Structure 1
């Protein structure tokens, strides 16, 4: 597993309807995690309420 700290305070919005898991919510990217033998990675967001969750990059757009 590879872990990358994300520097900066860029805010990202989770795409999807509001009834979807965290759809429409905005958070700050705090890390990205990738598995060595996988082509993909996830972005870890911390939301304004303090909760942390991870998402595929295609689910995010700049806020």
Structure 2
């Protein structure tokens, strides 16, 4: 999803304020808190995100999932 697609999908919604990198970061936090091993591929892909905030939170989430095993 691009920033433009996000803006169009959430036009008129408070969700639009998060911006794409904020939404991705929040998703990584959610997966870090409740995710399982089946989410590892998605988080591994997020490590390569051009926004460092996303990659940092994906790293945290992967560690959190690993700690729950």
* TM tier relative to shorter chain: under 0.3
Structure showing the higher helix proportion among its residues: 2
Structure showing the higher strand proportion among its residues: 1
Using structure 2 for the length normalisation, give the TM-score.
0.24
Using structure 1 for the length normalisation, give the TM-score.
0.25
